[in-house]
Structure 1
């Protein structure tokens, strides 16, 4: 039994396909297949059901793969101890990001992070909050940026900052003439929403529940998975929507005259970094968390809560 064989088994469990697992391990498919077979032969047990599509581990295989992850993590920890001691950060960091956060936050982080840590490759993937937590738990991602507290055992979280929400109002809308808004001004009947599954939708609905709409008022029927689409509808003169603060900063495609802040204390969402409790490369994650907090500091409004991630 070798660490390489264990790595092949973990990759096959992660990808459910010999070809994709081999590609992830940067080896040929026959080499990976032979490595898994050698591991099975050494243990005297079949670890994967090859008749399933995608390939899945057997009951015993699941236990072996889980233990293999721990063994590989401890082996990787040896290299990380050296990196932490020397202060040299290197390698790949895979980060999941909410689609309501990625277009506004990622551009702020990429350049300064690259200057500070030139030997670290950042890989971002846009996902919904539930998928981010699942991918982190399954080791498909090293970390994730979410705006909801993870209800999953084995997941750690680091709060980064409080991001206020703002209204985005079409000309002619009843709130267009207001300098500021309050949650009580909102009515479910004229607010465009994200579609089901997005945590930003849940945050908007919670805010609407405090509004002045009738109990039987229905939210707009059109829902989108993209904040930009909702913004464009408002730009065309229809209704209003809610946007995160960073979406209306930095000279984006929004119309500044349509932005309406909430009266203090403004409703906000807590942006968090999540990672697995068993994650070994915490020094990389901590460095990334600190860079995110540093990058958004200038774009948040005065008085916004900015946490200091532990180093």
Structure 2
């Protein structure tokens, strides 16, 4: 069997469809099918159950795919070693970014990065944390930017910065008059949240988890964007919390409604995460250096208290 054949197997395992897998591998569907059939004949087993729609892995096929991932990763490492030795920083690099970080951080570093490393072809996807973890483990992402810690033994984390939470308090709210606030000032039943699936939402729930947990059931309004939450708050429907970088682009009239927390400020930890295989580590290091450089001037908070995105059960 060959590395190429194993890559065909992984593509079919991912897409559960021979035609889509062939398109991903840039070969014809008959060519891909023939090569997979050769492996099955060589091993005298069936990797895929073709009678099911979509195509499913057989029990032995699942074990083969697991091992094939290791083999393909180690084969890719050879090219990686050569590129590192030559000091080459280039090639395709797939980066995932969570939705609450993408709009603010990406414009800050992307232009600098592509100018400094023109040979790198960045393919960027906006994904939630759960999707990112799955794609990192499946080899469909090289790295990602997400809130941490994730406490996953198969993923490494490099902290990029700590981003404080900032409260958005409309004028009709009782704590609007305060210059700085504490967590206990928040009415948990008034907080407007992002939709389920956002780790920023989980961070807020963790921030407030020790205060009237029964009240969590009364959250009624959830949105997919901070802009919507701000508008809802302005309509008198509650308060919300924002990541610090998001507040920098608010209108001056909206900035008057921002209230920072007293120290230590509750904050999220934002990290560059990647598989422990450390493939393309030279590009990961270049990303870390570029992002750290541009963010350093924007976030100067030192005394912060990290709020994990992991919602504790």
Q: Give the TM-score taking structure 1 as reference length.
A: 0.89
Point out the more displaced range, 97-106 or 196-205. 196-205
Aligned to 2:133: 133
Per mean C-alpha deviation after superposition, the further-off stretch among 35-44 and 160-169 is 35-44
CA distance in 2 between partners of 1:148 and 1:113 (Å): 23
Contact 2:189 2:215 in 1 (8 A): no
Distance in 1 between residues matched to 2:292 and 2:194, nearest whole Å: 26
Distance 2:68 2:269 in 1: 35
Match of 1:17 in 2: 17
Structure 2 equivalent of residue 198 of structure 1: 198
Q: TM-score, normalised by structure 2?
A: 0.88
For 1:255, what is the secondary structure of its paired residue?
Answer: helix
Task: Say which SS state the counterpart of residue 147 (structure 1) adopts.
Answer: strand
Q: Give 1:112 deviation, angstroms.
A: 1.1
> Does the alignment pair 1:81 with 2:106?
no
1:42 to 1:157, Cα distance in 2 relative to 1, 3 A: same
160-169 or 284-293, which moves further after superposition?
284-293
Specify the alignment match of 1:101 in structure 2. 101
Q: What count of residue pairs does the alignment treat as equivalent? A: 304
**Deviations for 1:105-159, whole angstroms, at most 9, x for unmatched residues?**
1121211110111111222222222221122112222222221322333222222
Unaligned runs of 5+ in 2: 305-313
CA distance in 2, matches of 1:254, 1:139: 45
Counterparts of 2:153 and 2:80, CA distance in 1: 25
The alignment partner of 1:164 has SS state of: strand
In the TM superposition, structure 1's runs of 4+ consecutive aligned residues that sit over 6 Å from their partners are none
Q: 2:308 matched to which residue of 1?
A: none
Q: How does 1:1-311 map to 2 (within 5 A)?
A: 1-209=1-209, 216=215, 219-250=218-249, 255-303=254-302
Conserved? CA contact 2:96–2:126, under 8 Å:
yes
Deviation string, structure 1 residues 177-196 (Cα, Å, up to 9, x no partner)? 22221111111121111223
Q: Which runs of 5+ in 1 are unaligned?
A: 306-311
Q: Let me know the Cα RMSD of the aligned residues.
A: 2.3
